[in-house]
Amino acid sequence: MSKNKILCNKGTVDLSVNDVTEELEQQTNNKGSKLELTPANADSGLAKLVLTLVELIRKLVEKQAMRRVDGGLLTEEEIERLGETLMKQEMKMEELKKHFNLTDRDLNINLGPLGDLM
Amino acid sequence: MIYAILSVKKNPGKLNALLAGIKGLSGVGLYAVSVNKITLAVCDMNKAEIIADKSCAIEYAGIIETLAQQFTLLPVQYGSVMESTDTIKKMLERNYAEIQQNLLKVENKFEFGLKVFCDSEKLMTELEDANETVQKSGSEIKNSVFREYVNQKLKEHRREEMLLSYVDSIIAEFTRLLTHLNTINKIKKMASAKNIIDAVFLLKKNKKDEMVQAVKDFQSKYPRLNFILTGPWPPYNFVDFTLK
């Protein structure tokens, strides 16, 4: 982005043109999150795709559950059961990520102009 | 290759003179293809010759920018190619009404981009300090490990909700401030952890200074956020139609 296009850039967060450019490039650069399926990596490529979807659904379920807890819609017993389920799901996900050598970043696909998946 | 769709209501000679002075990508000259009051700025290029890299895209944007300084236009995506001037004219005839509607919407207007950055972790902590509900969730811990787990997740959830609600309030306040400028807005929240607001505004060319002032005022009011206003840009984000 050329400097003469910046009409206003002040504030306590110290951001140079380069910082902003870097941040924007990070938002639009989805190299790291592309699903590169080749015959050589068919297993891990597919695992990345499947785990991305599973993680997205898991996070959505977790979010909805927290809304219900926050809204006081669950009994103590239900909260206890929910905690156990969510905890076990998270542990299982960690296990699977480790098995396929994937990180959280790998599962957070960049959707270009829509931002990150999670 | 097509660069832009322009509204040329009078004085087409002015556009021809401008196009004659501009060199397109790879030094290929530009010319106009018109149907009634709508004109396309184009150059002769094979699809195979188009290089999809950053420098070409920037050069392409620069050409659109030059045209936008003098004409109302709709920018066309880099790499848009049609077979012949005949095909272009037929496409223009098919889409005439929608193109004209879009040109009318952006007439004498420019796009401005506003990005708001902050250290969202720090901001959430500050908001949390000022909020009793979130603080309280930390003290709800009971013996069970599962309950502790839920409490931790609940705390994170409340922090995120608090940040979202803060961002919503900033957006509402800023858009209220812009009401008198009659802007058309497109606003996205939480584009990334740092970029909490990513917005584009379409407003009259002569309202630029008022927009800059509004952002400066807001910056003074919210010093822990970083407001970056850019523009004027051609209306990249305000072309709303699909070619038939």
Put simply, the answer to whether A9 touches B147 (Cβ < 8 Å) is: no
> Does position B220 have pLDDT exceeding 70, yes or no?
yes
Those residues whose C-beta lies under 8 Å from the C-beta of residue A76, and which sit 6 or more positions away, are: none
CA distance A56 to chain B (A): 16
Those residues whose C-beta lies under 8 Å from the C-beta of residue B29, and which sit 6 or more positions away, are: B19, B20, B22, B23, B43
3-state secondary structure of B228: strand
Domain count of the fold of chain B: 2
Residue type, B198: D
Token pair listed for B35: 């149907």
Put simply, the answer to whether B231 touches A82 (Cβ < 8 Å) is: no
- Best B69, B110, B145, B146 residue to mutate vs chain A (most A CBs within 10 Å): B146
Write out pLDDT tens, residues B109-126: 999 999 999 988 888 988
pLDDT for position A115: 65
3-state secondary structure of B134: helix
Paired strand residues for B75: B4
Does residue A56 contact residue A104 with C-beta atoms inside 8 Å?
Answer: no
- Alpha carbons A37 and A49: distance in angstroms, whole number: 10
Same domain, B65 and B10: yes
Put simply, the answer to whether B219 touches A13 (Cβ < 8 Å) is: no
Looking at B107, B140, B167, which one is the last position of a domain? B107
Looking at B107, B126, B154, which one is the last position of a domain? B107
Q: Tens of pLDDT along chain A (118 residues)?
A: 566 788 878 766 666 666 777 777 766 665 555 666 677 777 778 888 899 999 999 999 999 999 999 999 999 999 999 999 999 999 999 999 999 899 888 888 776 666 667 6
CB contact A37 to B (< 8 Å)? no
pLDDT > 70 fraction of chain B, expressed in percent and rounded: 95
Same domain, B19 and B33: yes
Domain of residue B228, residue span: 110-238
Q: What is the mean pLDDT of chain A?
A: 81
Same domain, B124 and B221: yes
Q: Which residues from A are below 8 Å from B194, CB to CB?
A: 23
- Is B244 inside a domain boundary? no
Going by pLDDT thresholds of 50, 70 and 90, the confidence category of residue B221 is very high
Residue with the larger pLDDT of the pair B208 and A105 = B208
- Is B35 inside a domain boundary? yes
Question: Out of A66-70, B93-97, B129-133, which region has the weakest mean confidence (pLDDT)?
Answer: B129-133
Same domain, B7 and B94: yes
Does residue B26 contact residue B51 with C-beta atoms inside 8 Å?
Answer: no
Same domain, B47 and B122: no
CB contact B131 to A (< 8 Å)? no
Token pair listed for B87: 């095909």
User: Tell me, what's the ipTM?
Assistant: 0.78
Paired strand residues for B32: B41
Mean pLDDT, range B79-106, rounded to an integer = 93
What is the enclosing helix (H) or strand (E) of B111? strand B109-117
pTM exceeding the 0.90 threshold for the entire prediction: no
**Structural domain spans, chain A:** 41-118
Question: Out of A106-110, B210-214, B219-223, which region has the weakest mean confidence (pLDDT)?
Answer: A106-110
Residue B72, burial from CB neighbour count under 10 angstroms (0-12, 13-18, 19+): buried
> Does position B137 have pLDDT exceeding 70, yes or no?
no
Residue A70, burial from CB neighbour count under 10 angstroms (0-12, 13-18, 19+): middle
Compute chain B's Rg from CA coordinates.
Answer: 24
Those residues whose C-beta lies under 8 Å from the C-beta of residue B140, and which sit 6 or more positions away, are: B151, B154
Categorise residue A112: left if φ over 0, alpha if ψ from -120 to 50, beta otherwise: left
- HEC letters along chain A: CCHHHEEEEECCCCCCHHHHHHHHHHHHCCHHHCCCCCHHHHHHHHHHHHHHHHHHHHHHHHHHHHHHHHCCCCCHHHHHHHHHHHHHHHHHHHHHHHHCCCCHHHHCCECHHHCECC
- Alpha carbons A118 and A110: distance in angstroms, whole number: 9
- Alpha carbons B117 and B191: distance in angstroms, whole number: 10
Same domain, B214 and B128: yes
Q: How many other β-carbons are positioned within 10 Å of the β-carbon of residue B148?
A: 15
- Alpha carbons B24 and A59: distance in angstroms, whole number: 48
DSSP label of B29: B
Q: Which residues from B are below 8 Å from A62, CB to CB?
A: 153
Same domain, B120 and B102: no
- Alpha carbons A56 and A101: distance in angstroms, whole number: 18
Same domain, B129 and B169: yes
pLDDT for position A90: 95
pLDDT for position B84: 92
CB contact A79 to B (< 8 Å)? yes
Looking at B55, B86, B107, which one is the last position of a domain? B107
CATH of the domain at B228: 3.30.70.600
Same domain, B213 and B122: yes
pLDDT for position A38: 75
Does residue B61 contact residue B100 with C-beta atoms inside 8 Å?
Answer: no
